[in-house]
Amino acid sequence: MMAGMAAVLIATSNAGKLRDFAAAAQEHGIVVDALPGFSSLPPVAEDQPTFEANARKKAEIYSRFAPDAIVLADDSGLEVPALGGAPGVRSARYAAHSPEENASDAANNARLLAELKTVVEEQRQARFVCVIVAAGNGKALASFRGEAKGMILHAPRGSGGFGYDPLFYFPELGKTFAELSATEKARVSHRGKAFRKFLEWMEKGGSR
């Protein structure tokens, strides 16, 4: 780790997110860990109207369980203009039967494809958005936003990644996010971009 850098913990039990963060951090010689005992902590309802508000709420609450550490929480999702910005903040719950529960990746992808069934190629643009909030001792310190623009395919491609990655085609590399290596994805993904902004903030002494 960088000299004088506080412990950086991620408030998530999502293995895919942890892999994304770890890959982005590795290039900077930084190790990130999941917040200890995260799975046993009371879940925080993601009931806010924006990615930033959800991330801020989670970061502030979860950082109270790790005194003096920098705790990161993110909210991220897919926005499709042809669907009025959906799935948006409901990306993990797009195909769920109730607003409190998440749906499987397969179910969410199936609903997305169904919603876009009659949408022509030129209107299948989409973007992944990630907002990371850093917090310490229950107080939000800073937020960082990253975006990645692409297209939604008619069928999934690739076996890597998670969520909507198999449907999200990234033109610059000619692959879906599910076809990228962890290193490739860290360089171009919304989560990698947001995380690098956090690292720049840390390197400038932002936590002090």
Report, as residue numbers or ranges, the catalytic residues. 75
Structure tokens at 69: 């550490």
Q: Tell me how far apart the alpha carbons of residues 198 and 189 are, in angstroms, rounded to a whole number.
A: 14
Angle among Cα 157, 159, 161 to the nearest 5 degrees reads: 100
Q: Tell me how far apart the alpha carbons of residues 78 and 190 are, in angstroms, rounded to a whole number.
A: 10
